[in-house]
Amino acid sequence: MTPTARETVLGRVRDALALAPAPGTTVPRAYRTGRTLPDDERLALLTDRLTDYRAQVHVCTADRTAETVAAVLRERGARRIGVPAGLDERWLTAYEGEVQRDAADIPAPRLDALDAVVTASAVSCAETGTIFLDGSSDQGRRALTLVPDLHVCVVDLSSVEVGVAETVARLVPGRPTTLISGPSATSDIELERVEGVHGPRTLDVLIRTDV
């Protein structure tokens, strides 16, 4: 039987690999690590980056978390919100709308009925303006933070690192990680920015300065 084109190509690839096995490679790890900045400088840097990505930043202390969350949701007109199963209930005490606790058996299409989602975060990188979610109980599954049009994300200043290397070092290997740098956005062929294509159209970030 004459081999197909696919079989011929794959056969040649296997032959080439057998004749020229790849040598072991040592990946250089000499990148810059251990950078730090005072709290006020990390806050200013992260705020600048997030604002540049068109996210809205709200700075508050821990005792004003519920008040600030409620104010943001009220301003956005969010009457029904979704939250991860492990989100701190105290963050929602000032909110007067409907709250739906997420569960794995809730199909993704039903999440589209939510006006917003409120989550915590794992760690953030000030230099790139990136927030990392790792699927913990107060951050939830990926679908919960992708389907609703508004994401209200709480970031503790103590979890903000300066650079990428320092940020990644705080992540737990093997956990599902989602990186957020502003609202979901892309550009069409004429480079016109379009938001909300692959995730929330609006991102509000609450940075708690004393946690």
Which pLDDT tens digit goes with each residue over 56-67?
999 999 999 999
CB 81 within 8 Å of CB 114: yes
Average pLDDT over residues 159-165: 97
**Which SS3 state, helix, strand or coil, does residue 104 take?**
coil
The predicted structure's pLDDT at residue 186: 75
CB 77 within 8 Å of CB 115: yes
Task: Inform me whether the pLDDT recorded for 135 exceeds 70.
Answer: yes
**Secondary element (H or E) of residue 117:** strand 116-119
Task: Inform me whether the pLDDT recorded for 146 exceeds 70.
Answer: yes
Question: Which of 153, 133, 130, 136 is closest to 200 using CA atoms?
Answer: 153
Distance CA 70, CA 76 (A): 10
The predicted structure's pLDDT at residue 48: 98
Q: Would you give the distance in Å from CA 51 to the centre of its chain? A: 15
Average pLDDT over residues 5-19: 89
For residue 58, what are the β-bridge partners?
206
pLDDT per residue over 173-185, tens digit each? 999 999 999 887 7
**Which SS3 state, helix, strand or coil, does residue 31 take?**
coil
Distance CA 93, CA 75 (A): 17
Question: Which of 134, 126, 139 is closest to 165 using CA atoms?
Answer: 126
Distance CA 127, CA 54 (A): 16
Report residue 193's pLDDT band, with 50, 70 and 90 as the boundaries. confident
Q: How large a percentage of the chain has pLDDT more than 70?
A: 97
pTM listed for this prediction: 0.84
**Secondary element (H or E) of residue 40:** helix 39-52
Say which residue, 27 or 58, is predicted with more confidence: 58
Average pLDDT over residues 130-150: 96
pLDDT per residue over 80-121, tens digit each? 999 999 999 999 999 999 999 999 999 999 999 999 999 999
